[in-house]
């Protein structure tokens, strides 16, 4: 079974063809990163307009790379939320139009579930129940995945998302947007590795908080005897990795899960991956970086688990942006 997935919730316009929710036939991503680097973050209206321009191109390329025709497809799937409203509208309505024109039904997909399902695009299939840690620019969510489509939210961030913290620290250190990769690269060059920045444990809860850490970074770099930026970047990354890995390991043990699934753009971070793997007593699954950051293969993979939700393209269907904060700051 072939599903064409479409993703447009933030600043990547993506289309992919996935077979049976497991095998990636094509995975095309047009990133708007360069465009948003100029403003230091995503301007929602600019993102929406850019999705409109890129969507037909990525869809055509996804079909070409998958060597398939519209007739070979079984469904079209699109992200309905959470995400930026204007951005979601372009992807969802583009998907509806395409499905309508080709007589295909449409499957609405939750972006967070998409990130989790990227773990089904790996060679080995994760055993369930699983603990899922979704860490991205917009989200930090700890979920108990009992089965496909059956999730319990254990906790999440109370302020900044993990990726948002990387982006804000990058801004403090003048490293540009998005912040994760340059902060991580700078951290790797730290000559001294002794600086200790705070960790918000929020004991007794599965929630996270990263805004205090961000403020601590601000105070550290503004101090008259400020350490080199690389050391600050290293200590920041260590603090995030420590909190994420310990809290995930603790929740996994308490819930008695069979595996830990990590997903979202921040899962591309090497130190965070290593810490989580070190501390987990059950197998850890982490997709390769191109399936961690926003993509449409994960949307098609999640859609495969929700074939019951398929509906005629012309049926009313609205976006579900939820409380997604503007990424401009």
Which residues of this chain interact with ligand KG4, rule CB under 6 A? Answer: 10, 136-138, 163-164, 166-167, 178-181, 184, 264-266, 268-269, 293-294
The torsion of the CA quartet 63, 67, 72, 78, rounded to 10 degrees, works out to: -30
81 binds, among ligand KG4, Zn ion, none (CB under 5 to 8 A by kind): none
Question: Binding residue for Zn ion (CB under 5 A) from 287, 294, 297, 319?
Answer: 294
Strand pairing category for 75-81 and 140-147: unpaired
Distance CA 85, CA 186 (A): 34
Rounded to a whole number of angstroms, the minimum distance from the CB of residue 109 to ligand KG4 is: 13
Give alpha helix (H) positions in 12-43: 33-37
Task: Select 99 or 162, whichever has its Cβ closest to ligand KG4.
Answer: 162
Distance CA 263, CA 285 (A): 9
Rounded to a whole number of angstroms, the minimum distance from the CB of residue 236 to ligand KG4 is: 10
Task: Select 37 or 101, whichever has its Cβ closest to ligand KG4.
Answer: 37
Rounded to a whole number of angstroms, the minimum distance from the CB of residue 46 to ligand KG4 is: 16
Query: How many residues comprise the chain?
Result: 329
Task: Select 30 or 216, whichever has its Cβ closest to Zn ion.
Answer: 30
Task: Select 243 or 263, whichever has its Cβ closest to Zn ion.
Answer: 263
Give how many residues touch Zn ion by CB under 5 A. Answer: 2
What per-residue string of b and e applies to 64-89 under the rule 16 or more CB within 10 Å gives b?
ebbebeeeebebbbbbbbbbbbbbbb
Lookup: tokens for 73: 């497809």
Rounded to a whole number of angstroms, the minimum distance from the CB of residue 243 to ligand KG4 is: 14
Distance CA 217, CA 211 (A): 10
Task: Select 16 or 173, whichever has its Cβ closest to Zn ion.
Answer: 16
Stretch that binds Zn ion, among 24-32, 45-53, 205-213, 294-302 (CB under 5 A): 294-302
Question: Binding residue for Zn ion (CB under 5 A) from 26, 32, 119, 136?
Answer: 136
Report the residue closest to Zn ion, judged by CB.
136
Give alpha helix (H) positions in the chain: 33-37, 44-65, 85-102, 111-117, 162-172, 180-187, 211-222, 229-255, 270-279, 289-292, 297-304
163 binds, among ligand KG4, Zn ion, none (CB under 5 to 8 A by kind): ligand KG4
Task: Select 184 or 220, whichever has its Cβ closest to ligand KG4.
Answer: 184
Q: Which residues bind Zn ion (CB under 5 A)?
A: 136, 294
């Amino acid at each position: 079974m072939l599903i064409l997935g479409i993703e447009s919730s933030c600043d990547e316009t993506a289309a992919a063809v996935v077979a049976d929710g497991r095998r990636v036939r094509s995975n095309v991503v047009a990133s708007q990163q360069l465009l948003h680097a100029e403003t230091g973050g995503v301007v929602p209206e600019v993102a929406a307009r850019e999705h409109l321009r890129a969507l037909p191109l990525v869809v055509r390329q996804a079909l070409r790379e998958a060597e398939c025709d519209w007739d070979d497809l079984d469904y079209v799937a699109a992200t309905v939320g959470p995400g930026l409203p204007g951005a979601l509208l372009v992807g969802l309505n583009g998907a509806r139009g395409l499905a309508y024109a080709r007589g295909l039904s449409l499957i609405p997909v939750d972006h967070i579930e998409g990130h989790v399902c990227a773990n089904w695009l790996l060679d080995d299939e994760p055993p369930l129940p699983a603990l899922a840690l979704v860490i991205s620019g917009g989200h930090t969510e700890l979920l108990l995945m009992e089965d496909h489509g059956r999730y319990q939210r254990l906790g999440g961030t109370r302020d900044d998302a993990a990726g948002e913290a990387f982006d804000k620290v990058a801004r403090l250190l003048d490293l540009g947007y998005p912040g994760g990769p340059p902060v991580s690269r700078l951290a790797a060059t730290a000559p001294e590795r002794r600086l200790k920045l705070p960790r918000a444990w929020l004991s007794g809860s599965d929630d996270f908080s990263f805004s205090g850490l961000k403020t601590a970074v601000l105070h550290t770099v503004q101090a008259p005897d400020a350490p080199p930026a690389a050391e600050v970047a290293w200590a920041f990354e260590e603090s995030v990795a420590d909190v994420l890995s310990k809290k995930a390991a603790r929740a996994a043990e308490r819930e008695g899960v069979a595996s830990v699934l990590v997903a979202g753009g921040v899962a591309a971070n090497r130190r965070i991956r290593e810490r989580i793997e070190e501390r987990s007593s059950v197998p850890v699954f982490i997709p390769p970086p191109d399936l961690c950051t926003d993509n449409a293969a994960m949307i098609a993979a999640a859609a495969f688990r929700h074939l019951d939700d398929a509906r005629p393209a012309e049926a009313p269907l609205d976006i579900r942006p939820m409380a997604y904060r503007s990424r401009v700051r």
